Every structure is written in C-alpha cells, then in structure tokens.
A and B are shown apart, each in its own frame.
Chain A
Amino acid sequence: MKELTFGTLIAVFEEMFGGLFFWLLVAAAIIITLGYIYVLIRDRSMSMRKFLWAQISMPFGAVAAVALVLTVTNSHLADLGGPVDIILFLGIAALGAIGLSILVYTLESFLWPPQQTEE
C-alpha cells in the first residue's frame, strides 16, 4: 500500500460500509462509549453485579463477531493458515467481546440505575 494515512483508512471504510452507514456506525460507537463513561461518572463506581452480566455476555460477543466475518466472506475457520491469522481471529473475537460487554454494562446502568438495584 502506497500511503496508509488516517484519511485513506476513513475513505476505505466509507466505501466498505457505504458513506452514511459508516458514519452511523461511528456515531453509534461514540454514543455508546460516551454513555459508558457517563454512567461511570454518574455512579462514581463500577457495579460488580452489572459487570458480571457484562462479562457473561463477552463470549457471545466474541462468537458473534467471528461469525459475522465468516458469514460475509467465503471463508471458514479451517482457512486460518498462519500466526497472523490466529492474531486476527483473536482480535476480532476480543473486539466483539469488549464491544458487547460495554454495550451490556451501559444498557444495564441506564435501565437499572444504582438506587433501584443496589443499596
């Protein structure tokens, strides 16, 4: 690749998902992240009970992310061929796991604020 700048990456992702859908995805990611930070500040602590549910959701996020990549491509787990493939595979799974856990924790915190579920 000739020049892999931030601008190039944005242009490629816009083409991959469609311009509007890509920025909606980015907006969704930013809103969920801001929501997560907001509930952390609002609650001034992490609820371990909610975190437990978030942790339980992680394997599902990991499997869903990998399944998504395999579904949208003509490839299978058996095609993983070298160390970089394993790293990529784990990276996709980790992204799915962390993403879903943040989403679950944030939703829980909005739906059940601390005074209702914890003393």
Chain B
Amino acid sequence: MQTNRRQFLGLAAAGAAGVSLPIAQKKARAQAVRTSAKIVIIGAGAAGTALANRLIKRLDGASITIIDPRPEHLYQPGLSLVAAGLKPANYVVSRTSDWLPAGVSLIQEAAAAVDPEAKNIETTGGQTLDYDYLVLAPGLVLDHDAIEGFSLDMVGENGIGALYAGPDYAARTWAAASKFADEGGTGLFTRPATEMKCAGAPLKHTFLIDDIARRRGNRGKVEINYFAPQGSLFGVPIVAEKVRMLFGDRGINAGMKQTLKSIDTGAKRAVFTGEGGETEVDYDYIHVIPPQRAPDFVRQAGLSWADKWVDQGWAEVDPETLRHRRYETIFAVGDIAGVPKGKTAASVKWQVPVVEDHLVSAIEGNEGTEIYSGYTSCPMITKVGRAMLIEFDYKNNLVPSFPGMIAPLEELWISWLMKELALKPTYNAMLRGEA
C-alpha cells in the first residue's frame, strides 16, 4: 500500500481543520449586545445557572445577579440512581459557585418578596434589589407536611423512602428499599396529585426495585403496588399504554385514582383517598413523593395563575415564550413555570435558549422568535441496564431525537447508556451554557 506526500498533507490539513472548527464557531457568534440592564435571576439550579452562563456571553455591561441560599448544586436526574444503590450520594452534589461565570454576582440568600410593580425583590437577608428584568427559577417546594404522619427524619428506617428530598434522603431511601428487596413483603410506590418534577421518576423507582428484588431471587416474596391519583400511568397516552403493558409483564399492580393521605409508621399502614372513600393498605416499604408547589413568594407577589393550579401556584407565563402574561419584564423557567409539561432538566435545556432569546431581544427593543414546544424528555428506566428514551411535547406527540434509530417505546441498552454515561456530562455542558 502506497501513500504519497500529497495525500498525507491533505489528511493532516483535514485533521487540523477538525480541531480548529469549534474555535471558529465561537468567533462566528453574534456580537454581544451593549446594555446597562439590571437582571436578577432567582435560583441557581439547572435553569438559573444555565441562563446566567448564556446571558453573560450575549450581553456586554449588564448587571446580572443570581440569588440562591444553597451552596450545593444538585444534579437531580441522578437521584433515582442513588435511590437504587447505583450511584453514591455525592454523585449528584457539586458547588453552586463552581458553575457560575465571572461577572455574575451570587447572593447566598433566598427571595422573600417580589414587587412586580416597583420592579424590585427583597431577600431573606433584608437586601432590596432593583431589576429591569426578573427571571424566576427558584424550583419548587416539596410539601412533606401534607402527608399526615410523615416527616423527613423517618426516611431510611421502618421501610420508608423519599428520594426527591435530596441526595442523603435518596441514599437512605436505598437503605430501606434494599432491605425490602431482601426481606420481601408489600411495597407501595406513590406519586402526588399535583404537578411534579420528572413524572417518570415514581415509575423508575418502582421498576428498579422490582428488578433488584428479581436479581436477588426474591421477587416471589415481594408484592409491588403502584398508587397514583391520576387516571392513567403517564400523562402521554401512548406512553401510559406501554407502561401498562410493562406493569403486566413485571407483575406490578396499579391502583389508579388513589392519593396518599397519611401514614402510620408504627402500624406500617398507609391511607389513600379515592373515589370510593378511604382505603387502608399495610406496607413493608413505602415510597413517598409529596405534593409539590411554588415557593410562597411567587404566590404572594401575585405572579401565579389565578384560575389554574390554584393549590400549587405556578407562575402565569405564556407556554411558548415563558414570559409572564401580565408583567412583560418577568420570565419563569424550570419547575416554577406554569406550563402543562416540562419539569425536567431536559425541558430546562430547551426552555433556557427561549428565555435568553426573548430577554436579549427585549433589551434590544425587538421581539424574540424562539418558541418552547413543551419538549420534555424522560429516560424511563425499566430495569438496571435498560431504559426507554421517551421525548414528548405539549400536544402529547412523541418527538424522538433519533427517529428511526432509537425507538422511544422500546427498552434499550443504548438508552440506559445515555442515562448513565452521557446525561450528566450533557447536563454539565448545559449548565455552562454550551449545550
């Protein structure tokens, strides 16, 4: 085989072009917009951090302040893995300040009040910050007190799990779930009646504990029951049908239109309310996901929907632009946004560029053009090693990223590899504003 010098030089040039491409792309980005606008972002979670990193690149001279009381940043998509013993608790924890770019000031306090008329916010430390543009990204509040008889200090013992509450609680959930998978008995897997973060997570936990009991040879002595206040197993009908079939295949019982009301930890008994009144169910393991609501300051500022989700208080935004419907200088992104879908990190990835576009356009005196379609993605884990890559929009259409290649309703190894290997790097790249 002969290779001449000209071919060699050609190959070398192609290689060099490949390496220099990203640099060229960065230079080609639009010139930064000069402005003295004061932008306040409430919340340094996935949405707030990603937006701050994008805005700092788009704006020159803007004052960007982000406020968040928590020094730790949580990679929440990892909590399901922690609660199944597949990752340690510290897999989901990093430092908030490590993700924020130079030029953005971080105030480690929570928002106490917003005055949308005077355009200022007050922090829990008593500071008042004026803003020209306000971005609500405070996430949501887990209302554990709404479940009578339950408190977070119980998690991990006496068969009680609650993986949403944070990395340590997720690890303690695994301690309780693992014991259940060894010793057997009746498992109750619940979800709340409210809107919630990642509506797939209650199902993932159910599937994972089913699989782990199976692998340990104990599936015969384990009864798995999934209780949900809703009428179907998933908000997207075609996915609900698939989950129904998988439940049939795995021998998981579904109790629909059943809302967890209270638990008696001494007697290991849970009470559900449903159409036929109250039902008492004994358990050996129960996974509690509490009702989820907007932080109080959003409701008190009059920023919530008045006629929708009245017990929950999500911000009243246009579903396509995420701009507040009554205050045009306010946007809401992430869990707090009052839109029918989209309380996942994947949704945030699609929402943030939309808010960025409309906010920067407003500063320039134009109208933005980007639209949020309701895109939400859920790598639905169905066992350790397999998942379904489910992606959908407001219209309940499936919107696969790899159509014809990765089937959304098929349990696949490639979808699991994406969840386990690629999701956190993609999330981190999103935080840095690069994906």
Contacts and interface: CB of A to CB of B under 8 A. Distances in A.
Interface in B355-412: 375, 383-386, 401, 405-407, 410-412
A13 B349 contact: no
Given A15-B425, A41-B8, A75-B384, A81 B411 contact: yes
Contact of B407 (A4, A12, A84): A84
B86 A7 contact: no
B424 A85 contact: no
A88 interface: yes
B416 A75 contact: yes
Interface residues of B, number: 45
Nearest to A8: B435
Contacts of B5: 41
Contacts of B353: 2
Nearest to A40: B3
A45 B385 contact: no
Interface residues of A, number: 39
Given A45-B1, A88-B414, A37 B421 contact: no
Contacts of B425: 12-16
Interface-central residue, B19, B26, B353, by most chain A CB under 10 Å: B19
A74 to B, nearest CB: 5
Nearest to A34: B12
Contacts of A4: 401
A12 B422 contact: yes
B32 interface: no
A90 interface: no
Interface in A65-98: 69, 72-76, 78-82, 84-85, 88-89
Interface string A3-31: 01111101111111000000000100010
B429 A11 contact: yes
A2 B412 CA distance: 21
A82 B412 contact: yes
A63 interface: no
Interface string B1-38: 11111001001100100010110011000000000000
Given A15-B425, A75-B385, A40 B1 contact: yes
A49 to B, nearest CB: 14
B420 interface: yes
B309 interface: no
B413 A37 contact: no
Contact of A10 (B12, B22, B410): B22
A44 B2 contact: yes
User: Which 5 residue pairs of A and B lie closest in terms of their CB atoms, listed nearest first?
Assistant: A79-B385, A15-B425, A75-B385, A11-B434, A11-B429
Given A79-B385, A84-B406, 18 more contacts: A1-B426, A2-B350, A6-B21, A6-B22, A11-B434, A14-B425, A15-B426, A26-B19, A34-B15, A73-B420, A74-B86, A75-B384, A79-B383, A79-B416, A81-B386, A82-B407, A84-B414, A88-B417
21 contacts: A2-B375, A4-B401, A8-B429, A11-B434, A12-B426, A15-B429, A30-B15, A37-B11, A40-B1, A45-B2, A73-B385, A74-B420, A75-B384, A75-B420, A79-B386, A81-B386, A81-B410, A81-B413, A82-B412, A84-B405, A85-B414
